[in-house]
Chains A and B, each alone.
Chain A
Amino acid sequence: MSAYITSTGHYLPGAPIDNEKIEDVLGFVHGNPSRLKRKILKSNGIKTRYYAIDNKHNTFISNSKMAANAGNNCLANSYLSKNKISMLSCATSQGDIVLPGFGSMVQAELDISDIELQTSHGICSSSMMALKSAYTSLLAKQHENALVIASELSSRLFKASRYENAGDYSQDFNAEFLRWMLSDGAGALLLESQPRNTSFRIDWVKSFSHADVYPVCMSIGIPGDDSDSRTWQDYPSYAEAEAAGALLIRQDVRLLDNVVKLGVDGFLRLLDESLIKINEIDHVLCHFSSEYFKSRIFAMLEKAGAAIPEHKWYTNLYTRGNTGCASIFIMLDEFRRTQSYKEGDKIICMVPESGRFNNAYMQLTVVNV
């Protein structure tokens, strides 16, 4: 029994926004241009990205609607009609509403009936967990197909007013860092138990989580004051949580180097288990958050005698932005539509997540029928 990716799709909201226009959309905090922006953009290498909010901070498309659009785009390229879908597996780091689960909202937007539903919650690797859930359902013969969708609408967190309401914590480097990294978009994959035309067979999906070892690295819900042990819902009101900086999205940049180490560590484990054979890899799609980390991962694999030549690495980070958990699907979709590959080619997908250090990997093989 095998599972195949028989179609892919994506949705990116609005027009691409270049580096000069970011603050026109997200706003100037207290009316001032950021002093960190240039430095962070230089390090991440992103040139354009997409936002689902306009320059008046109105959300012009919801997260669940973006997810549904990506799903429809994926189905429009497929051999299946919508009413044949039997499982929907969705991922996001933040839905439009806190409850119910994101999958329920996406199903309603998609208007598909009688499906088995799965919502995977987390940060960048949650899409891979949603994919694994669908993949194992197909292998267990519970379903013959599954639509997997990952979508992110993080720009709402980066509006100038968010920082202005966080008082003293608005100048915090860790709180501003992601403002220049993350953007919006959705990606979708259709999994089927039979291949169609040119498909990607899923050879395996594996992940390794290290939350027991390291502190939280990327978060929402923790206040700016280290000595305050409350989390956002522990405040008497949400206004007080916001004033304490507990609703800002933060990245503890000092811990980021661990992502590189753990990413390489996972890769070496897969080598050891003979799931990966360096010489057989034809394409590498790695969700790295910035150019800086790509070079670090690359250098470390080289030291380990496990280098994969640079021409085999593909990414669309620089033009599509870092869309969190949606990135790997948006990347795979564009790879599938625009790059050249042939039957038998092996594709390695890697998603090292900094949230609390979960690293996911997948191998695909190109098949033709």
Chain B
Amino acid sequence: MFNMENKILTEQGQSCLQSLLTIWFDFERGLTKIPIIQRLEQGRLSIEDYRFLLLNMRQQVIEGSRWISRCASSFDRSYSDVRSKVIGHAQAEHRDYEMLEQDFVAVGGNLDEIQNAQRNIGSEALHGFLMYHATQKNPVDLIGAMWIIEGLGNKMASEWAQSIDEIFVGYEGITTFMRYHGKNDEAHVEKLYELIDRLCKSDKAQENIERTAKVVARLYLLQLEEIDNG
């Protein structure tokens, strides 16, 4: 996820980026321990697994555009430049879920089923946490959330989509969401680097960003763990 120019200039920004990287690596190891992700990474994913993975991710993707939009509106005029960037981000992603639904249908899923599915327990917790934080005034700490979610998008495109296409030979157009979402996220991660410099101006801000990244990472893992409990 880090194949772009180094955009971090300030010392505080660098320190924050280093912590976020450490949190990311920890999150990535956590992913590798989740049963359904293990099956994906080791080539043992069944078509039902993949359908269920998409079904469980859809709610998060839909809610994702909501919390980012709300986050944008919570920045006051002293952060209007940040607000513009976050609005741009929300705009680019708010209909991603349609691609995900197409992939679900392409692997034999029923559109009604995915559209009427409930959020899993992890998605409930993640959504609740993100919406609450997005409602706070000038929610600088949400860069930590974006870091994890954008990083994951990148990982999906660069690793998971390829594994899935290798496992399900004979199917076509079943990873458009993962591939598109990731391609898009690379530009977003670049913007994130700029945001880190812009928003991480104190030790306190850095602490909040790190904490939010850790919580989001943990809740995202919970969401994926819950897939096998469904």
Contact = CB atoms under 8 A, between A and B. Distances in A.
Interface residues of B, number: 19
Interface stretch (A111-119, A189-197, A268-276): A268-276
Interface in B5-32: 6, 8, 13-14, 17-19, 21-22, 25-26, 28-29, 32
A203 interface: no
A31 interface: no
A212 B29 CA distance: 9
B42 interface: yes
A261 interface: yes
B28 A272 contact: no
Contacts, number: 42
A215 B14 contact: no
Interface string A287-323: 0000000000000101111100000000000000000
B167 to A, nearest CB: 14
A305 B2 CA distance: 12
B18 A268 contact: yes
A305 B22 contact: no
Nearest to A303: B2
Q: Which of A210, A262, A268 has the most CB of B within 10 A?
A: A268
B42 A262 contact: no
Interface in A184-222: 210, 212-215
A63 B190 CA distance: 51
A214 B32 contact: yes
Given A213-B29, A213-B33, A214-B32, A272 B18 contact: yes
Chain A interface category by residue count: 10 to 19
Contact of A304 (B17, B28, B29): B17
A268 B2 CA distance: 15
Q: Which of B3, B6, B33, B42 has the most CB of A within 10 A?
A: B6
A268 B33 contact: no
A357 to B, nearest CB: 10
Contact of A213 (B14, B18, B32): B32
Nearest to B193: A303
A265 B4 CA distance: 18
A359 to B, nearest CB: 11
Nearest to A212: B33
Given A210-B29, A261-B25, 19 more contacts: A213-B32, A213-B33, A264-B25, A265-B22, A265-B25, A265-B26, A268-B18, A268-B25, A269-B22, A272-B19, A272-B22, A302-B6, A303-B2, A303-B3, A303-B4, A304-B18, A304-B21, A305-B17, A306-B18
